[in-house]
Amino acid sequence: MSLSAGQIGQVLAEIGDLMQGGVLQKIDQPEPWSLVFEIHRRRERVHLYISAQRRFSRIHLTDEKHPNPASPPRFCQLLRAHLRWKQILSLEQIGGDRIVRMTCAWPSSQASMETDASQESRSADAGPSSRTKEEEARTLSLVAELMGAAANFFLIDHEGILMGSLFPPPAGRSLEVGLPYAPPPLHPTGLFKETEIPLAEPGPFRFNRSVEAYYRPLQERTAEEEEKNRLLALIDEGIRRCQKKLRQLSTGLAEAEKADRHRYEGELLKGALHRVRTGMSEVKILDPADPEQAEITLSLDPALSPPKNLERFFKRYKKAQAAQAAIQVQMEKTKKELEGLERNRSVLSEGGTIAMEGKPPVPTRREKSKRTGPPTFLSADGWTLIVGRNHRENEEVTFRIAKGNDLWFHARGVPGSHLIVRMERGKEIPYQTLLDAATLALHFSDARKAGKGDVVYTQRKYVQKPKGAKPGAVLVSQERNLYIEIEPKRLERLFASTL
């Protein structure tokens, strides 16, 4: 759909005389692939548009106002530095192909330039400083290769040396900054299907006006389609993310729904507490709910007294209840987000538009890194576990988030994450929470591949930062050691509980 060599010739035939002798007063790059030149000649002002878009590469005069980015792109800055205030010596087609060369140089005198340029613009910008005769004799060229997918712009000095390009040159051509520019091989015209462009009403620059009128709606529709596809891709990514999160939350909810089982086991232990002695690791009790009156084995902590072991079961029940409530809140929130994304996708697919507040809440990587801090997990007992993923987050977790009585975990002898467990005043850490914390500390360390290893833990107040040490480096005292093997189901449950 790009202009053919013959059509480019028609455009230049209409504007060649107009361009010659004109001064390039403004140079803009409104889109990543296009340039707009404001040219002044004999008190006339025209705008030349050149596009290197792969589907619509073209050149023509334009009356349309093209909004510019907040800061000019690098190639635009290069052109402004070298071409602005230059006079156009020629605008010609090269070799009868889809290549246009604009050759420029300083006007022969400062006076001629003052005549061509508008006084208002000259007062805002002082323009070029004094020049030597050698500088005035040097020419610069902008070469526009308007060849569809291979379209590109090149700035070339008076010796034919490449100074810069809009897009990186293709690997098949030896085009590097500082080396001579060589045009591409002549395109076989027989393979190119020329686009039929309806002619505008008779008048000045008729074919130029026809080209602009033909391509403008095409480019607008293409931009809308690209934006639609971009939004659909973001929505699909968001849908996949929500579906994955719901699967993980369902796994965590199934684990948290064991709360009633913990309460039932606690009631059984309460009725048989007279049989329990300190130092026992388990006790067998008849299960009254079983039709065959089978025995159920309850695991005990041998270091705890019978009342403390009983309290441990009911603590598990309360924590599991809290975890269940937290996961259900997350599931409801995720389901609503998923419904919104699916609704937006349906609207876009049917040709509708999405309001700003309805766009998919998929943050960019940079925005996400700014917004999120160390991840937080819920243990099987509903306790909060916070993990640092790098030196900066380790520093934050240990020395800004953690309190003195919080427990601090780290894999022994290997680089890894700092992990803290939020402790409740006057309470001991539940055994399953201890295992959960050690599992995460080992998983977020260099011992992860081995799947097992030692984890040290202590109260945060016994973790100190050496003077002048790098972020994340600490000294630990009063530590305890725990050997742990990573259980896949435990790890899966923990990741499903991420807040």
Cβ contact 21:90 at 8 Å: no
Let me know if residue 354 belongs to a domain: no
For the ranges 135-149, 195-209, 344-358, 399-413, the lowest mean pLDDT is seen at 344-358
Give the residue, 162 or 259, on which the prediction is more confident.
Answer: 162
- Global pTM reads 0.54
The residue range of the domain holding 114 is 5-196
List, for residues 40-76, the tens digit of each pLDDT value.
988 889 999 999 988 899 999 999 888 888 888 999 9
Let me know if residue 187 belongs to a domain: yes
Query: Does 2 score more than 80 pLDDT?
Result: yes
Query: Does 132 score more than 90 pLDDT?
Result: no
Query: Does 472 score more than 60 pLDDT?
Result: yes
- 429, with CB counted inside 10 A (0-12, 13-18, 19+), is middle
Tell me the H-state helices in 416-497. 431-443, 488-496
3-state secondary structure of 258: coil
Contacts for 187 with CB less than 8 Å, ≥ 6 apart: 5, 97, 98, 147
DSSP element (H, E) containing 137:
helix 133-137
Let me know if residue 135 belongs to a domain: yes
The last residue of one of the domains, among 196, 217, 248, is 196
Let me know if residue 409 belongs to a domain: yes
List, for residues 369-397, the tens digit of each pLDDT value.
444 678 999 888 878 999 998 998 999 99
For the ranges 159-163, 224-228, 232-236, 414-418, the lowest mean pLDDT is seen at 224-228
Query: From start to end of 14-86, where are the E strands?
Result: 23-28, 34-41, 44-51, 58-61
Query: Does 119 score more than 60 pLDDT?
Result: no
Query: Does 210 score more than 70 pLDDT?
Result: yes
At residue 414, the pLDDT reads 92
Q: Which two tokens stand for residue 455?
A: 């984890």
At residue 173, the pLDDT reads 82
Cβ contact 401:386 at 8 Å: yes
List, for residues 323-379, the tens digit of each pLDDT value.
777 778 888 899 999 999 999 888 888 877 776 444 444 444 444 444 467 899 988
Strands 139-145 and 99-105: antiparallel
Let me know if residue 292 belongs to a domain: no
Task: In whole angstroms, give the CA distance from residue 325 to residue 311.
Answer: 21
The last residue of one of the domains, among 173, 196, 219, is 196
Let me know if residue 262 belongs to a domain: no
State the DSSP code for 97.
S
List, for residues 220-248, the tens digit of each pLDDT value.
888 888 888 888 888 999 999 899 888 88
Task: In whole angstroms, give the CA distance from residue 232 to residue 247.
Answer: 23
For the ranges 56-60, 424-428, 454-458, the lowest mean pLDDT is seen at 424-428
Query: Does 271 score more than 70 pLDDT?
Result: yes
Let me know if residue 232 belongs to a domain: no
The last residue of one of the domains, among 196, 230, 248, is 196
Contacts for 359 with CB less than 8 Å, ≥ 6 apart: 231, 234, 344
Q: Which residue has the tokens 């505008």?
A: 200
Q: Which two tokens stand for residue 355?
A: 């309001």
**CATH code: domain of residue 79:** 2.30.310.10
At residue 129, the pLDDT reads 47
At residue 239, the pLDDT reads 92
At residue 444, the pLDDT reads 94
Residue 473's DSSP bridge partners are: none
Q: How many domains does the chain have?
A: 2
Contacts for 131 with CB less than 8 Å, ≥ 6 apart: 106
Distances in Å between the alpha carbon of 37 and those of 25, 251, 306, 404?
8, 61, 88, 66
- Give the torsion through C-alpha atoms of 33, 35, 36, 42, to 10 deg: -160
Let me know if residue 184 belongs to a domain: yes
DSSP element (H, E) containing 8:
helix 5-19
75 closest CA partner among 127, 161, 175, 152: 152
| Angle CA 375–391–364, to nearest 5 | 55
DSSP element (H, E) containing 314:
helix 306-349
DSSP element (H, E) containing 215:
helix 206-256
